[in-house]
Each structure stands twice: as structure tokens, then as C-alpha cells.
Chain A
Amino acid sequence: MTARPATVRVAGGQGFWGDWLEAPYRQVTGGPVDYLMMDYLAEVTMSILQKQKSRDPSRGYATDFVTQMERILPTVVARGIKVTANAGGVNPRACATAVADVARKLGLGGKLRIGVVTGDDLLGRLDGLIARGHTLDNLDTRRPLRDVRDRVRSANAYLGAAPIVDALQRGAQVVITGRVTDTGLTLGPLMHAFGWAPDGWDHIAAGTVAGHIIECGAQCSGGNCLRDWQRIPDMAHVGYPIVEARADGTFDLVKHPHTGGRIDVASVTEQLVYEMGDPRAYITPDGVADFTTIQLRQVSKDRVRVSGVRGKPATDKLKVSVAYFYGYKAIGTLVYAWPDALAKAQAADRILRQRLTDLGLKFEAIHTEFLGASATHGPLALEDVDVAAIPEVQLRVGVRAREEAPVDRFTREIAPLILNGPPSVTGFAGGRPKPEEIVAYWPALIDKRMVQPSVELIEA
């Protein structure tokens, strides 16, 4: 048994697939860290990856992760940093193989053990599960999954930290998973490092809160922070967050020295309430965290201490994320200039809608916005604005239908307005909008016993 560390530092490297490419490298080189966690999977990402895999069985994972690993692996191996990432998508094994290839190419063959976590993918098991009474009812609409069964593109259970702990205990230095919760990528390392018990609910909750804070990258260290945003320093070199945890479950949020951004009670609080439901019950596969017990204290510049976190036992369910084909949509835009910019855009919208009606096109929804006036804040935005003085307005009209034909016809009704609608119109350089497939999200629950995570090891 090795000695337990006094503190463990888990760095957040990616808040989503598409986050800053410089961040992981800066996290592993900017100062000491023990773990690097990277979150790649949004709800719809899985269906895109499933589509890639169906065309090519060697794909279906976040390829950017492999590129990142190529850049950071020499440092990671030299410094003994461990990496957790849900970059495996619907093909964690292929992702791990690609990383192992990269490691050998870098001369790190024999120096890297990769853990692969699978068991979350339910796509091939759906009919059996439904036949055995697991109806996978939509959490919002209560409808059973069989209603859309023939249109399902992907189905994944959210796994928790347990298989990550297992992989780390078996010596994996890089752990690549499929649909593991964002928070599990941080909690797993802390459970492993401190030997926290799976039913030590306060510890589990503390690690979950730590994971929630850093899972969106710089969004807790100055990014997207409203309070005094103009005074947050050097955002060009924003420091991504690091959890510096202790065995008792308290932890500090910090960032590397000589980085930009700001870690204070305001920036951390904004991230804590992000995507929050009932704060007394933040449910993960690992346990339930009570966000009303969290205490925050600024202990020094760019260091916030988190303590007091209490947890409750895990539920007997796992969340399942299903993606299914829904229909089609398209969005068209035109820009109208002063004078009467908003009135012109409104007139164009009326004309367009009349033409769609005359054509007999049926849509599930037609949605109009006036960007520069009321697109995001609706009628609230125009309460104290001199509407006649607005310099320009972008008309943005979207349509949605189950069939492609009406959506396609809609896309041909935007450009004519340039010559046969209201005046002072521009901004159509992008050309005709394209109908886009909608793959929608179906949240459900499943009995935990139906899902068995599995861990295998690959040596580079």
C-alpha cells in the first residue's frame, strides 16, 4: 500500500469538444498537477459519433483528443500525470488504440498503460431491454421509447466514477471512457488517490462538486463571468482551473501562476449555479450532492476554499441519453438597415410568412427573431430603446418540420426578398440556407443493475 498524498491536484483541460486547444498543454506544463481531466461529450455528440462509427468501425471517438495527447504525452509521461477523458465516445477501444499508436510513435512504447472503460453503450441492447420491461420513458414527456424506437441513433447510460477508479487502481495512466459523467472524471481520481469509499457520501458529494466546478473549463476561472467582467485580467492567457483537494473532502480552486483570468467567490458561484436543477439534489451515478451545504471562502488571490459539502446515497437508477431522428430545420437571415430597420425586418417577416401560407407549407414551428433588437431578451429588450434609431436589424427566421420538403421550399423563399421585399436589405452573402437534420435528445432512466461497466487495459 502506497502512502496517501496530503493533497491531490486535478486540472480541468477541456470543457467541451471544441474548447481551447492550448489549455491541456498549458495545464500540464504550467505548474504541478497530478491529474488532467478532459470532458468531450455533449448530449448530441454521441449520435454524431455513432454515425461516424457506422460508416467506419475504426471511428466514433473524439479525434481531437488524440491530437492533444500527441502534444502532451511526453510531458504527461515524464511527470507521471494521469489523464481521464470521456473522449472515447461510442468507440473507446479505438480511441485508446489510436493513443497507444501515438505513444509508440513518440518513443513511449512500453511506458504507457491505457485504461478503457466501456459498458455504457446500450444501442445494441435496446430491443432486449424494452422486451424485458425497461420502457426508457422520456423524463420530460413520459412517452415510452418504443414510440421512436425505429429512429434511435444512439443510446448510452451515464456511468459514474467507479470504473475510472478501477482502471487507475490497475495502473492505467490514461483512462479513456465512453459516456461517463463529466463529474466522474474528477471524482474518480480523488476516490483513487485518497481511498474514499464508494459509500462515503460526503466525500463523494465533495468530489462531485469539485468536478462540477471544473467540468466547464475556464467558466469558473473568469470565462463567461459577469461580475466585474471588464476587470478580469489577461483573458487572452486565461488560466484553466485546478482542484487542489485534501483527503477530508475540502478543496481549493486555483490556477497556475502567471496565467490570466480570476478565481474568486463570484466566478466559482456563477459556475456552481450553471445548469442547476434542485440544488438539494444534484444526482449523479455516484451519489447525490446537496449544493445548499457548500461553503466558499476566498483564502488568497485566485484561491477559493470549498468546504462543508454534504451528500446522500446514490439512487438505484442511471440516466440514459438517447438520440433519435426528429425531423428537419432551416434558418434564414437577412439584414435591414436604418431608417426604420426594425419595421423593415418585421414587414419582411410578415411577407415571408404570407408566402409560406400561400404555398400551403406545413411546419411544426416557425420562429422569427430580430437580432439587434429583441432576439435574446424578447419584448423586455425594447422597453427603453429608441426603436427608430436602431442602426440595423438582422431578420432571422427558422422553420421546423417532420418532413424535408417544406423545409427545403422555405430555404428558397429568403433570397427573393432581397429584390421583392422591403428596402435597405443586405447580408445574404452566405447564400441559401440548407435544410438540416434534427437529431434530438431523449433523457430516460434505467435500473442500475442493467448496466455493467467494464475496464480493459492496453499497453502502448
Chain B
Amino acid sequence: MKKRLVDLAHARSGDKGDTANIGLIALKPKDYPLLVKQVTAARVARHFKGMITGKVERFELPNLYALNFLLHGALDGGGTISLKTDAQGKVFSTALLRMEIEVRK
């Protein structure tokens, strides 16, 4: 069955120039391996297709049951240059939580 990430994880995002970062944190430690397996950099890049112009990088923080994603070219230049409401990428976090992943019943 499919589940939305919002039911499996919480998240916070921020910016570094034109790059948004999203920290994705498992609500329950037992679900962390599921996130590692399914929420890949490639999957996240597809999720945000049309919203970012650069690549997606992923880093693992197993100690915090968290994944960190860097979304390059996400902020229309970022900082003061950006024309976006979310120029600092603050709510990319919950946009990621819309993603559905496959969960074994």
C-alpha cells in the first residue's frame, strides 16, 4: 500500500544561496530504512520536476534517523535576487512530505 511521507516523517528546510535543503526525519526510527530505500535523490528530483533547475544530492544521518537533501537551483537565484514568496526555501519541507511511497502492509 502507499503512504504519504507526511504520515511517516517530519521535516524542516532552509537555504544556502540558490540551494534549498530539506532535512527529512523519520517519525519512528523503525521507518528510517524505508526512507533510505525509497526517498532517493533521483525520486526527489522527479518529485520536484519543474520546480528546480539543478541536481539533487542526498546525505544520510542514521544517528538522527534523518536524510538531508540539497536541491540546487531551487530558489530563483536565492536571497535578495529571488522573486519567489518562498525565497528561502522554508516550505520545500512540506512539499516533500506530499510524496507517496510504497509501504508493506
Chain A interface residues toward B at CB < 8 A? 43-44, 140, 224, 226-227, 266, 269-280, 291-296, 308, 326, 329, 331, 365, 367, 369, 371, 375-381, 383, 396, 398-400, 438-441, 443
Interface size, chain B (Cβ < 8 Å): 42
Contact B12 A376 (CB under 8 A): no
Whether A277 touches B16, Cβ cut-off 8 Å, given contacts A269-B66, A272-B64, A292-B62, is yes
Whether A440 touches B94, Cβ cut-off 8 Å, given contacts A275-B16, A376-B85, is no
Number of inter-chain CB pairs below 8 Å: 128
Q: How far is the CB of B57 from chain A (nearest CB, A)?
A: 8
The reply to whether the CB of B25 lies closer than 8 angstroms to some CB of chain A is yes
Chain B interface residues toward A at CB < 8 A? 10-18, 21, 23, 25, 27, 47-48, 50-51, 59-66, 68, 70, 76-81, 83-86, 91, 93-95, 98
- Cα A329 to Cα B61 with chains together (Å): 39
The contact of A365 among B76, B79, B80, by CB within 8 Å, is: B76
- Cα A435 to Cα B16 with chains together (Å): 25
- Cα A226 to Cα B12 with chains together (Å): 8
Which residue of B has the minimal Cβ distance to A437?
Answer: B80
Contact A266 B85 (CB under 8 A): no
Contact B79 A44 (CB under 8 A): yes
Within 8 Å CB of A441, what residues of B?
17, 78-80
Question: Can you report 25 residue pairs joining A to B where beta carbons are below 8 Å apart?
Answer: A43-B79, A44-B79, A140-B18, A224-B12, A226-B93, A269-B66, A273-B12, A273-B66, A275-B14, A275-B16, A275-B21, A276-B68, A279-B61, A280-B59, A365-B76, A365-B77, A375-B85, A376-B91, A380-B95, A396-B85, A399-B83, A400-B81, A438-B80, A438-B81, A441-B17
Within 8 Å CB of B62, what residues of A?
292
Which residue of A has the minimal Cβ distance to B26?
Answer: A269
- Cα A278 to Cα B25 with chains together (Å): 16
Contact B83 A269 (CB under 8 A): no
- Cα A111 to Cα B55 with chains together (Å): 56
Contact A378 B51 (CB under 8 A): yes
